[in-house]
Amino acid sequence: MPRILPRPLLVLPAVLLLLLLGITWLLFQDTSSGPSRPAVHGNLLPPESKTIVALQTSVPAWIELVGEVRPRGEIAVSTQVQAKVSRVLVRTGDRVESGTPLLQLDDREFQARLAQSRHDLDALDAALLRAHNIQERTQAEFDLAQAEFSRINALHAQGAAAASELDQARAGLLAARAEHGQAEQSIQELRAGRMGLRQRIEELSVALGHTVVRASESGIIARRDVEPGNVAHPGQTLLLLHSLEPRLEVHVPERYLDRIAVGQTLEARVDALDSMFLARVDELEPAGRPGSRSFLAKLEVAPELLRDTSALRSGMFVRVRLSLPSEQYVLIPEDAVLRVGQLAMVAVVREEATYALRHVRLGRTFDYQVEVLSGLQGGERLWLHPTPTQ
């Protein structure tokens, strides 16, 4: 026969279940927005606890434009003649002044060709002198033959000279004229050859000057791509020369293009140097980059903005701060945040001197104040330095 339990024993499990649910509700009644931690003395705020108010305030907004340090000018050093490199006079990192010799090319071939051209010019000058002497002699002979022909022609008209004498005088005149014309033509040819030789000598002199490659302006040797013994070709980059004046190049997203203008002064930071300084917008390219939807801005670092620019090296990462319209933020001190692993919580104080832990999502930091993205609306009183115990 089955045993029947007394009625009080049947009711006891239900009572215990209700009691457990009530305790759970009391512990978590004010933590609906996030996880809670076990409270001190039933979530009572410890005596003499410091509290603060979460402020909703207007904070200047800005974005960081990233880029790099670049030289204001970049010159690819090349040669204008083809020759073998005999000496490289600089190394990477050397600072050079305008006109400083950088490379020495083998000039022996140019020297030999120049000497030969000068020798040919001297020989041509001597030939031209002889041609002038011949031209003077043929001119005199032509004048004499012309006078003789005129005399014989006059006598023949009077019947005092025979026709054979006139024919002989005419033949002498024509021969003298031809010889004189040949002398003048020879002089013209020699003069043309002399002009060509002088032009060739001038070109060889210029080419000989190009065998010493000099710096076109002051700067720093950024790259060296040549060694002694290499054959240098015109247009081939042998050295890369960076100007001494640095410039910042950053990319501006298209949605912020109306916030930047030429002449505007912005705050820049180079992380490698741990330094901040001012830079002025010098150029803003009108055409954007299709891939990134951004526009390239070039900023100058003027002496009045940064006296010593020698520490800025090409390729350094740079951040430039671009101001935006102010926005409303909820800010709280960092000391009011309780971090549990990757979670961030705050202790919200209630009127009964109790508190409840609330999960918050944090954003940027402003001078020991941290932005609250969600979890607080502003105006809540928070426990400073919360230390709830287990």
Measured CA to CA in angstroms, residue 191 lies from 79, 116, 136, 201, 218 at distances of 33, 18, 16, 15, 45
- Looking at residue 231, what is its pLDDT? 93
Please answer whether residues 244 and 94 qualify as being in contact, where contact means their C-beta atoms are separated by less than 8 angstroms.
Answer: no
Residue 169 sits at φ, ψ, to 5 deg, of -65, -40
**pLDDT at residue number 31:** 41
Count CA atoms within 13 Å of residue 2 on its CB side: 3
Rounded CA-CA distance 357/247 in Å is 50
In this prediction, residue 290 carries a pLDDT of: 84
Instruction: Give the residue ranges of DSSP H helices in 330-375.
Output: none
| The Cα angle at residue 52 between residues 49 and 62, in degrees rounded to 5 | 145
Structural tokens at position 163: 């026709």
The per-residue pLDDT for 34 is 40
Give the whole-angstrom CA distance, residue 57 versus residue 328: 6
Each residue's pLDDT expressed in tens, for the chain with a length of 390 residues: 444 444 444 455 555 555 555 544 444 444 444 433 333 344 787 877 888 888 888 777 788 999 999 998 889 999 999 999 999 999 998 999 999 999 999 999 989 999 999 999 899 899 989 989 988 898 898 889 889 888 888 888 888 878 888 888 889 889 988 988 898 898 898 889 889 999 999 999 988 989 999 998 999 999 999 999 999 999 899 999 998 888 999 999 999 898 899 999 999 999 888 888 899 999 999 888 888 889 999 999 876 666 677 788 888 999 999 988 877 888 888 888 988 888 899 989 887 778 888 999 998 887 778 889 998 888 888 888 877 654
CB burial of 59-74 (b: ≥16 within 10 Å; e: otherwise) equals eeeeeebebebbbeee
